[in-house]
């Protein structure tokens, strides 16, 4: 299935903007207050999109707040969406795109019906193909660290028309390798946050560390 067959309109625009961003910070933290601070610091670092996982306490409220206080060009993502009820709640909160680590039947159709995009997880060739045929705007190759850039390159060789987003273990040290292997864009988990600096409220250090990902992404565009 070609990209034009699987994505159209708003969904296609969202995908193009994620491609342009090159990197999605994926925020998964144990405390709501810490997550709220981290969101502000990631925005200060220059990110134009953030995915907040539903495993974060108060995630829906944080998604809604982020959507309300950022401009329309900023993309708000909701991650670890495992069922349609959660997906509907994320859409109601204002999420622009929904991310799942696995196949969730009906998720892509629900997202598209509301002008959103769905990034569906897959690791094996069969899973990647199933996610794409199920209507995913892009396939989240997860966990990327299990196969590394060589695994992604093999997936890209077999499915050159499927936008692939490796997530899980992506770092400053290997991000360029994933892009060279064929990633349309990458998801960076808590590697994007200097956890020790965040813990001691050294906001400057957190911003500098996160900005390095933004700068690297810009150099790879």
Assess whether 180 carries a catalytic annotation.
Answer: no
Task: Please list, in sequence order, all residues whose beta carbon lies within 8 angstroms of the beta carbon of residue 162, skipping any fewer than 6 positions away.
Answer: 3, 128, 132, 138, 139, 155
145 and 185 Cβ atoms separated by less than 8 Å: no
Q: What is the DSSP letter of 33?
A: H
Length reported for the chain: 221
Q: Rounded to an integer, what is the distance from CA 125 to the centroid of its chain?
A: 20
Joined tokens for residue 24: 């999605």
Question: 106-127: per-residue pLDDT in tens?
Answer: 999 999 999 999 999 999 999 9
Pairing of strands 23-27, 75-79: unpaired
For residue 44, pLDDT beyond 90 = yes
Residues 209 and 203: their CA atoms lie apart, in Å, by: 10
Q: Which CATH architecture has domain 3-220?
A: Alpha-Beta Barrel (3.20)
> What percentage of the chain exceeds 70 in pLDDT?
96
CA torsion sign, 186 to 190 to 196 to 198?
positive
Buried b (16+ CB within 10 A) or exposed e, 81-99: beeeebbebbbebbbbbbb
Question: 187-221: per-residue pLDDT in tens?
Answer: 999 899 999 999 999 999 999 999 999 999 999 96
Residues 92 and 86: their CA atoms lie apart, in Å, by: 10
Tell me the three state secondary structure of residue 4: helix
pLDDT band, very low/low/confident/very high, at 5 (cuts 50, 70, 90): very low
Q: What is the DSSP letter of 192?
A: G
Query: 11, 33, 140, 180: which one is catalytic?
Result: 140
Residue-level pLDDT at 8? 64
Indicate the pTM of the whole model.
Answer: 0.94
Query: 11, 33, 44, 51: which one is catalytic?
Result: 51
Q: For residue 103, count other CB atoms closer than 10 A to its CB.
A: 15
Q: Where do we find the tokens 């998720």?
A: 107
Assess whether 109 carries a catalytic annotation.
Answer: no
pLDDT band, very low/low/confident/very high, at 2 (cuts 50, 70, 90): very low
């Amino acid at each position: 299935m070609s990209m034009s067959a699987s994505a159209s309109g708003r969904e296609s625009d969202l995908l193009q903007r994620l491609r342009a961003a090159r990197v999605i910070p994926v925020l998964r933290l144990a405390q709501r207050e810490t997550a709220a601070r981290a969101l502000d610091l990631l925005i200060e670092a220059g990110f134009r999109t953030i995915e907040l996982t539903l495993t974060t306490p108060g995630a829906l409220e944080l998604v809604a707040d982020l959507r309300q206080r950022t401009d329309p060009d900023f993309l708000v993502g909701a991650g670890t969406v495992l069922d349609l009820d959660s997906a509907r709640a994320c859409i109601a909160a204002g999420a622009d795109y929904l991310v799942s680590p696995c196949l969730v039947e009906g998720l892509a159709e629900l997202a598209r019906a509301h002008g959103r995009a769905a990034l569906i997880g897959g690791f094996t060739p069969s899973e990647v193909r199933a996610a794409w045929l199920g209507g995913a705007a892009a396939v989240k190759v997860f966990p990327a660290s299990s196969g590394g850039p060589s695994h992604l390159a093999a997936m890209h060789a077999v499915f050159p028309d499927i936008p692939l987003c490796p997530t899980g273990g992506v770092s400053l040290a290997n991000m360029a390798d994933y892009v060279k292997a064929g990633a349309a864009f990458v998801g960076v988990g808590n590697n994007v946050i200097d956890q020790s600096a965040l813990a001691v409220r050294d906001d400057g250090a957190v911003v500098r560390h996160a900005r390095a990902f933004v700068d690297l992404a810009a150099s790879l565009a």
